[in-house]
Structure 1
C-alpha cells in the first residue's frame, strides 16, 4: 500500500516543505512499472516576493496557473525548449509558491530509467553515467518519463506522487540556488537544500 504524502504536508511554509522533502521518494507509476528515486536535492521558490520565481510580482499566466492552485499538485515546465522540470505546489491556494525537485537517488526500475535516459541497459553504464542518471532536474524528468502531460497532476491522488518513508538521519546543507544569477538579491538566498555527501546531488 502506498504511503503518499497528504495535502497537509504540502500546505506549509515553502522552505519547510523543501527541507522536509529530502529523503522522501518520488514515484511515477507508468506502463505497469513503478519508477522511483529518493529526493536528495530541492530548491524553494517563494512566488510573489522572489525575483527568481516564475510568479514574481504576482505574474499570473497560463504557464504559472498551476502555482496559484491548491497545494499538492505538480508544476511541470520546460527550459531551453527541451528539458522538463518537476515542481510541487506548496502553501495555500492563491499563494504561488513551489519546490523544484533538483536531484534523485535512483531506487527502482533502474533498467527502465537507463533506457529512458541513455537508450542503453543499466549494466552498460559507466560510473559517471550512473551518477548522472537523475542528478539534475531535466535528467530525473527524462528518467522517470515526466513531461508536460504531468503538469497539474494531483500528487495525492494520481500515478505521480511522493511517498513518505522511515525517518532517517540525514544532514541537510543549504546553498544558493542554481542558474538564477539574473535574480538580483534573490540570487543570494540560501534556498537550495541537499543531503550532505550524497553522490546524486547535482552541484556539490
Structure 2
C-alpha cells in the first residue's frame, strides 16, 4: 500500500446525514436512527458509537419535556428537525435530536462502540478512558454506551457545548454506515412516571443488540404481542 493511499484514508471525513433526515415524524426518525453512527471529534480522534436504542417523544403526550411548555432551556425542542437538545439526567448529560413539528424529539437511549477506518482503536481507547466504572477501571466495551448518560460520557458530549446547536460536520454528526437493522423491537419507554403516558410504545431497539441496551426488552418474562412487538 502506498503512502498516498494511507494518507488519503487518514484524511477521509465521515459524511453526516442532512438536516432533512431529522425533519420527519418522531417515531419514523426513532426507528431510522437505529444502526446509524454518532461521531464526535475530540482533537484528532473521532469517537463513535452505533445507535441501538431510541425513544420517541411528542409534544402532545405527557412524557415529553416539551409538554411542560416552552422555556429557553427547552427551545431546541421547538426548533426545526435536526437541532440538538441536551439536558442533565441523574447528574449526567443526555442527547436528543429534534424531529418534525414543534416539541417533538428523539432521545438517544443507548449505543454500541463503533470501530472502523475513521474511528480506530485509539478512538475506542479514549472512550474507555472517558467512561470508567465506579472503581475507576475500564468498562467492558459492550457496556460502555449502555445508557443515555454513559453514551454521552464515552463520546465526550456535554450540555454546555451542544445544547440548541445544529450539527457541525467537522465536529459532531450522525452517519449512515450501512444496512439498517433487519429486526427492530418496539416497546414502552423507560423511566416515565405513572400517569404520564408510560404505556405508549415509543421505545425502539435494534434486536441484534438487545442485551446491550438500557434494559433488554427480550429479558425473561417478556411476552411478544403484549410487552413488545417485533417489527
Match of 1:50 among 48, 56, 61: 61
- 2:157 matched to which residue of 1? 146
Deviation at 1:168?
A: 3.9
- 2:175 matched to which residue of 1? 163
Q: Is the 8 A contact 1:73 1:88 kept in 2?
A: yes
Deviation at 1:152?
A: 1.9
Stretches of structure 2 lacking an aligned partner (at least 5 in a row): 1-12, 116-122, 217-231
Q: Secondary structure at the match of 2:131?
A: helix
TM-score of the aligned structures, taking structure 1 as reference length = 0.88
The 1:54/1:140 distance shift into structure 2, 3 A limit, reads same
Q: Is residue 99 of structure 2 the alignment partner of residue 87 of structure 1?
A: no
Q: Secondary structure at the match of 2:212?
A: coil
What is the 5 A alignment of 1:31-180? 31-47=43-59, 49-56=60-67, 59-80=69-90, 82-92=91-101, 95-108=102-115, 109-118=123-132, 125=138, 129-148=140-159, 149-155=161-167, 157=169, 159-180=171-192
Structure showing greater radius of gyration is 2
TM-score of the aligned structures, taking structure 2 as reference length = 0.78
Q: Is the 8 A contact 1:50 1:56 kept in 2?
A: yes
May I ask how many residue pairs the two structures share in their alignment?
193
> Runs of 4+ in structure 1 displaced over 6 angstroms?
none
Q: Give per-residue Cα distances to partners, 1:107-147, cap 9 Å, x unaligned.
A: 1311001100018xxxx746xx3332100000000000111
Stretches of structure 1 lacking an aligned partner (at least 5 in a row): none
Deviation at 1:160?
A: 1.2
Deviation at 1:2?
A: 2.3
